[in-house]
Structure 1
Amino acid sequence: MDTTLAYLREILSNYTDEYAISRTIYEKLKSSLNEGELSFIRALDQEEAQFLNKILPEEIQYALEEQDYTRMTELNHVYELLI
């Protein structure tokens, strides 16, 4: 399993109760786990990409504050692919 997608899957699970779109993204992510992050990013529609663009900076900042530099780097990689 791709480490980057594993971190993304973990943070998305925190949003699935509150945001329906996160459940959709989560399902796409589960089906893309073996294909890699670029394949996953390409499968997103515009609304899904915007949602991730909204939550990822907050999650990256949280990882930085917690000094979890590996998580920060992996999530930042996804964020860079989105922009």
Structure 2
Amino acid sequence: MDFTLSYLREALSNYTDRNGTSQTIYKKLESGNFSSERDFVYQLDEEEMKFLNDVLPDEIKYAFEEQDFVRGNQLNEVYELLI
């Protein structure tokens, strides 16, 4: 799994106990063999994409506030593919 998807999986772990869509996405990340974030995004359905569009801006903002620029930029790469 590439680093971008590892950061995404880590961010999603904060939501898996309270949202079924996040659990589905998390399981896709765990079981999938995606060579890139683009390959992963192409496997998402509309509901999953909407969930990530709602969650990722907050996760990106938090990463930058914590000065974790690598994580923020990696999550932003996924977000850009969604929009």
Q: How does 1:1-83 map to 2 (within 5 A)?
A: 1-83=1-83
| One-letter identity of the residue aligned with 2:17 | D
Q: CA RMSD in A?
A: 1.0
- How many Å separate the matches in 1 of 2:67 and 2:82? 24
Identity of aligned residues (%): 59
Contact 1:32 1:39 in 2 (8 A): no
Deviations 1:12-63 (A, max 9, x none): 1110000011000111112334422111100000000000000000000000
Gaps of 5+ in 2: none
Q: TM-score, normalised on structure 1?
A: 0.94
Structure 1: 4+ residue segments shifted above 6 A: none
Gaps of 5+ in 1: none
Moved more, 68-77 or 28-37: 28-37
- How many Å separate the matches in 1 of 2:58 and 2:49? 15
Q: TM-score, normalised on structure 2?
A: 0.94
